[in-house]
Amino acid sequence: MAVYQSKVNSEEENESGLDEQRTVTCKEAAAIHEKEMYVCETVTADREEIKEFEAWVKPRIEGMVPVYGRSIDYISLEDFDLMGRTVFAEAKTESFTGKVAVAEVILNRVESENFPDTVEAVIKKDGAFSSWGNGSAAEAHLDDECLEAVQDAVNERALPESVVYFREGRYHDFGIPYMIIGRHYFSSEEIEQK
């Protein structure tokens, strides 16, 4: 556990005007840092915790969203938006877990050698997502829960990287069945035996 000194930037947040000192985990400090509400200065910390924190937080890049636990480092805000619209159109009636899984399939496809290597190319590939083929994704609004599901998918991997397919109602005729979440059946890529 590391101890961080926090300076509150606005009078509203700290009416006393005093600096606050509290103990937080590395992930909590990253969340504070991400919100840009505090300037964190390390007061005391275990060296390993500092290394873990520095390795976990990616530098902020204007117009980009950091991606964690994958070979993708960042996606653009436009790609984040496209993923949110796709998740809404494909999984708006599914549980939060189901929404995250759909977002993960998109990212897994970007990482796969068998699919295009950008979010936009994966999403808009002919026949890849029926919601783009029928126009419902392009017209979809950005739902908070769907955007949060996309954020969860870029923050941490929940499905194996081989899970690149999903379908409503039954498994595809190709791929290896992996799991069912709600009405969606998720499958992984077939792996050639060597």
The 10s digit of each residue's pLDDT in 30-55 is 555 554 443 444 445 567 776 666 66
SS (H, E, C) 61-110: CCCEEECCCCCCCEEEHHHHHHHHHHHHHHHCCCCHHHHHHHHHHHHHHH
Taking phi first (over 0 means left), then psi (-120 to 50 degrees means alpha), and beta for anything else, what does residue 36 get? left
User: Would you list the domain boundaries of the chain?
Assistant: 2-57, 66-188
pLDDT greater at residue 68 or residue 34: 68
The 10s digit of each residue's pLDDT in 92-119 is 999 999 999 999 999 999 999 999 999 9
Q: How many Cα atoms are found within 13 Å in the side-chain-facing hemisphere of 187?
A: 17
CATH topology for 66-188 is Arc Repressor Mutant, subunit A (1.10.10)
**H or E element at residue 111:** helix 96-111
From 6-15, 24-33, 65-74, 184-193, the region with the lowest mean pLDDT: 6-15
Give the pLDDT band (50/70/90) at residue 190.
confident
pTM for this prediction: 0.70
